[in-house]
Amino acid sequence: MITNNTAIQAETLTKRFGDFTAVDAISFEVKKGEIFGFLGANGAGKTTAMRMLCGLSIPTSGKATVAGFDVYKQTEHIKRSIGYMSQKFSLYEDLTVKENIRFYAGIYGKSDAFIKEKTAFLLKELHLEAEANKLVRSLPLGWKQKLAFSVAIFHEPEIVFLDEPTGGVDPVTRREFWNMIYKAAESGITIFVTTHYMDEAEYCNRVSIMVDGRIDALDTPAQLKRTFEVRSMDEVFLKLARKAKRAAD
CB of residue 115 vs another protein: minimum separation in angstroms? 9
Distance (Å, rounded) from C-alpha 81 to C-alpha 86? Answer: 17
Got the DSSP string for 166-212? TTT--HHHHHHHHHHHHHHHHTT-EEEEE-S-HHHHHHSSEEEEEET
Residue from 16, 79, 196, 246 binding another protein (CB under 8 A)? 79
Map the footprint of another protein across residues 47-76, applying CB under 8 A. 54-58, 76
CB of residue 249 vs another protein: minimum separation in angstroms? 16
Can residue 103 be called a binding residue for another protein (CB under 8 A)? yes
Q: Residue 17: in which H helix or E strand, if any?
A: strand 6-17
Residue type, 232: S
Sheet hosting strand 69-70, strand order edge to edge: 20-31, 6-17, 61-66, 69-70
Can residue 37 be called a binding residue for another protein (CB under 8 A)? no
Residue type, 23: V
Residue from 23, 52, 66, 82 binding another protein (CB under 8 A)? 82
Candidate ranges 7-15, 103-111, 194-202, 235-243; the one touching another protein (CB under 8 A) = 103-111
Binding region for another protein (CB under 8 A): 54-58, 76, 79-80, 82, 84-92, 94-95, 99, 102-109, 135, 161
